[in-house]
Structure 1
Amino acid sequence: MHRRRRTALTVSAALLVAAPLLSACGNEAHPGAAAVVGGDRITVEQLQSRVGEVRTAQQQATEKSGDYAQAVEKTGGLTRSTLQSMVLDRVLHRAAADAGVRVSRREVQELRDQVEKQSGGRKAFEAGWLQQYSIAPGRIDDSLRTEIEAQKLYAALGVQPQTEEGQAAFWGALSDASKALKVDLNPRYGSWDVTKSRRVDAKTPWLREVSAKDSQKA
């Protein structure tokens, strides 16, 4: 696989991974919102629409093979991972803007042309991103913009992404952006760890208490 392609995929994977840490939980102060980022609402409807785009793309991609059920099974946490991406994209954009990073449409198109060629064409490229990152074809340009922002942020910070120092500086910048934006998740989707800039599942101790009582009765 081409080096530039590996770099892009590595950045995407890093941005999509969630950590098993917990910060302050969200609240019900924003009814109808899946999350509030910098005062802007990501509505439940918007989240469901984004998930629907992926499911439709998966269905179309597996129409001949009949593997749609398998594709759905592999992406069982799609709603939460999609919300993670929607929030983190905004956090990254804020961190990049704070560092003076700008991305042009030309840069996005140039990267797309390059990666499509490396992938063997547009269809193969779109299929690969759908399968690996659950990104619908219509959202790929947004994803590529995020890729470029991440790479430019590393450069603006004067660090390399392959080093521990680079990772610490990068995630530190995202943590600062998360704090500034005051990310607030609807509790049904977990909470936002401002230190790691990642969505985490909420702890539900009452479930363990109920389970323990049931076990005692049994």
Structure 2
Amino acid sequence: MHRRRRTALLLSAAIAAAPVLTACGNDAHPGAAAVVGGQRITVAQLETRVNEVRAAQRAAVGDEAQYAQVIAKTGSLTRDTLHGMVLDRVLHRAAQDAGISVTRKEVQEMRDGLQEQVGGAKALETTWLQQYGVAPQRLEENLRLQLEAQKLAAKLGTDTSQPAFWKALSDASQKLNVDLNPRYGSWDVQRSSRVDAKTPWVREVTAGQGEQTA
């Protein structure tokens, strides 16, 4: 059980720090932040996810000065969030290809174990928000992702830090033909990671500041 908890935390850190995957980003999909397997991740969906995190961050601090400091430390939130949304789909496809599934019971067991480790449900939500940019309402989805990754690595006889694991994600990414809107960078299929484009005019979306990504 303790090994599972440590693995979950390490995996979350690895995914949060992973580089971003490259494809032929273009404006062929207006209104889309990315297209994965022919399915659009719209700019509106991305902004919703970012706003969820910003709202949770605002609620977690005492005043506007502290919130401003949080924003300053998470200036790449929009691109990081899109990376996570794409990687979720890539990993899910890789897990499906390997015949892997995750049950709700397994997700709950992981959640219970992590809550015991960090000191309760609220502490777990705070940890995932602060360290991995995951809003509380997305915690269960993220834990399912962790389990899929763990199971995939185990089936490959490796772990989530090794080339064999990322090769499986690269294969899935290629099958899904990941295409990022160039304002958010590009998707490197070989590395399964987002690569920033040199677009200094692009600004991050932050709730309450009225910034736009278009």
TM-score category (smaller protein): 0.7 to 0.9
Letter in 1 for 2:15: L
User: Does 1:192 pair with 2:187?
Assistant: yes
Cα distance in 1, alignment partners of residues 92 and 127 from structure 2: 24
Distance in structure 1 (CA, Å) of the matches to 2:126 and 2:59: 10
Aligned to 1:207: none
- Which protein has the larger Cα radius of gyration, Structure 1 or Structure 2? 1
Structure 1 residues 51 and 161: CA distance shift in structure 2, 3 A: closer
Alignment pair present for 1:181 and 2:172: no
Give a deviation string over 1:60-107, Cα, whole Å, max 9, x none: 000369521111111110000000000000000000110011000110
**Identity over aligned residues, as a percent?**
65
Residue of structure 1 equivalent to 2:205: none
State the Cα distance separating 1:202 from its structure 2 match. 1.8
Residues of 2 paired with 1:138 and 1:23: CA distance? 29
Any idea what SS the aligned residue of 1:139 has? helix
Q: What is the TM-score with the length of structure 2 in the denominator?
A: 0.87
Displacement after TM superposition at 1:18 (Å): 4.2
Q: Distance in 1 between matches of 2:140 and 2:91?
A: 16
Aligned to 1:67, what secondary structure does the other structure show? helix
* SS of equivalent residue, structure 2 residue 158: coil
1:102 pairs with 2:101: yes
Is the Cα contact below 8 Å between 2:149 and 2:160 reproduced in 1?
Answer: no
> Greater shift after overlay, 151-160 or 40-49?
151-160
How far apart, CA to CA, are the structure 1 residues paired with 2:182 and 2:16? 19
Partner of 1:69: 68
Paired residue secondary structure (1:87): helix
Q: TM-score, normalised by structure 1?
A: 0.86
Q: Which residue of 1 aligns with 2:10?
A: 10
CA deviation profile, 1:177-211 (whole Å, cap 9, x unmatched): 0000000000100100000111101246xxxxxxx
Q: Is the 8 A contact 2:94 2:172 kept in 1?
A: yes
Q: Does 1:121 align with 2:116?
A: no
- Residue type matched to 2:110 in 1? L
Taking the aligned partners of 2:11 and 2:53, their CA distance within structure 1 comes to: 20
Q: Which runs of 5+ in 2 are unaligned?
A: 200-214
Root-mean-square deviation (CA), in Å?
1.8
| Match of residue 82 from structure 2 | 83
Count of aligned positions: 198
1:116–1:39: structure 2 CA closer, same or farther, 3 Å change rule?
same
Query: What is the aligned partner in structure 2 of residue 27 from structure 1?
Result: 26
